Amino acid sequence: MKILVVGANGQIGRHLVQSIQNSGEHVARAMVRKEEQVSHFKELGAETAVVDLEGEIEEIAKAADGVDAVVFTAGSGPKTGKDKTIMVDLDGAVKTIEATKKAGVKRFVIISSYDTTREAIQNAGESMAPYVVAKHYADEWLRGAGLDYTMIHPGLLTNDAGTGKVDVGPSVKADNVAREDIANVIFESLKNDATIGKEFKVINGQTPIQEALGNL
């Protein structure tokens, strides 16, 4: 499998490319924004593509050419303004979905946030609500896009080492989860077609990732 990782230079993205390359069997194509981010991924043996998510759909579609799956794990991050929340978390995600269709690729995994429902928007504080809204509409777009998608809603992301064990489900209780484990949930989801059309939350837990996804 060749997998385009959009947002490869993010923390989850870096773990994911590493896992894909470690497999020996699959290949990552790391999509990054800046030329200077490329070398890290080349050293891992991954393919690379330098594309700005604020650019045109056509550029993203070129990066998706010939891959078997696309993973969207980009995010504007908490340090940028709400303008980037709109441009990256919402519009960047939608453009990646449209680019995936344009490239003729069917399989898509999105890293959403923990809860993007209407209720979550209403319950979010004033500073978080715009982010939840952006993710809400990106998720809605994906649901209607006709792709073979999997939507992953991680708990509170930490930089702890992954344990390889998680709890997954439509309504697990909010808790921490290591970015490294999320990366492996993505990778295992791509290898398990039973996750197509599924949306689930992921937190640290007791069940090995493969088995947890098998129980969905």
Instruction: Give the SS3 label for residue 89.
Output: helix
Helix orientation angle between 11-22 and 179-190, rounded to the nearest 10 degrees: 50
Distance in Å from the first CA to the final CA of the chain: 23
- Decide: is 87 part of the binding site for a second copy (CB under 8 A): yes
- Phi, psi angles (nearest 5°) of residue 18: -55, -50
Residue-wise burial string across 146-184, b where 16 or more C-beta atoms lie within 10 A, e elsewhere: ebebbbbbbbebeeeebeeebbbeeebeeeebbbbbbbb
Position among 21, 38, 62, 130 found at the interface with a second copy (CB under 8 A): 130
Position among 50, 68, 101, 137 found at the interface with a second copy (CB under 8 A): 137
With contacts defined by CB under 8 A, how many residues of the chain interact with a second copy? Answer: 24
Q: Which residue has the tokens 């010939």?
A: 66
Instruction: Give the SS3 label for residue 29.
Output: strand
137 is known as an active-site residue: no
Selected range binding a second copy among 66-74, 131-139, 162-170, 189-197, rule: CB under 8 A: 131-139
Min CB(133)–a second copy separation in Å? 5
Position among 36, 39, 42, 56 found at the interface with a second copy (CB under 8 A): 56
- Decide: is 85 part of the binding site for a second copy (CB under 8 A): yes
Min CB(144)–a second copy separation in Å? 8
Min CB(6)–a second copy separation in Å? 18
Selected range binding a second copy among 3-11, 22-30, 86-94, 201-209, rule: CB under 8 A: 86-94
**Residues annotated as part of the active site:** 131
